[in-house]
Amino acid sequence: NPMTTKYAVWCSLHECINDADQFHLELEYAIHSGFFRGGDVLVLDNAAVHTGKENSVLQDYLWEKYAIFLLFLPARAPEWNPMEQVWTSLVQRLRELPVNKCREVAKETGPHLSAYAAIEIISGITYEEVKQFYRGSGLVPQD
């Protein structure tokens, strides 16, 4: 949401397991931090973390409580998932990181270098890039 948040892609680093409960906590945090607001559309694939446990009623909950529309992508359609393009962009940018920068970050992060590098890269993705990811996935018409 370019009007209210600094980052175009929500991401976080934590030591727990990514399960349905953790996803729900992250989603609530993203909402309460202002990342999402009424009228936004949240696009999710059908991964178990998105649909399991209490998340099975997520679509109604988000709409009724926050006016956030939830769009589930069809099963087995990764080409429609804009996150696939985020991952591709992340891999390309990780490959381009200078070795000196990696050594510098590794001194601070130790064995978590790749996770911290990924967070830094994802946090740098712009709103314009996100629009391109959506256009590339076919969810938004080309200009």
Contact present, 28 and 34 (Cβ < 8 Å): no
Average predicted confidence (pLDDT) for the chain: 79
Q: What pLDDT, on a 0 to 100 scale, did the predictor assign at position 106?
A: 67
Distance between CA atoms of 114 and 101, rounded to whole angstroms? 12
User: Binning pLDDT at 50, 70 and 90, where does residue 65 land?
Assistant: very high
CB crowding 99-110: b at 16 or more within 10 Å, else e: eeeeeebeeeee
Supply the pLDDT for residue 102. Answer: 66
The overall pTM is greater than 0.75:
no
Q: What percent of the chain is predicted at pLDDT more than 70?
A: 83
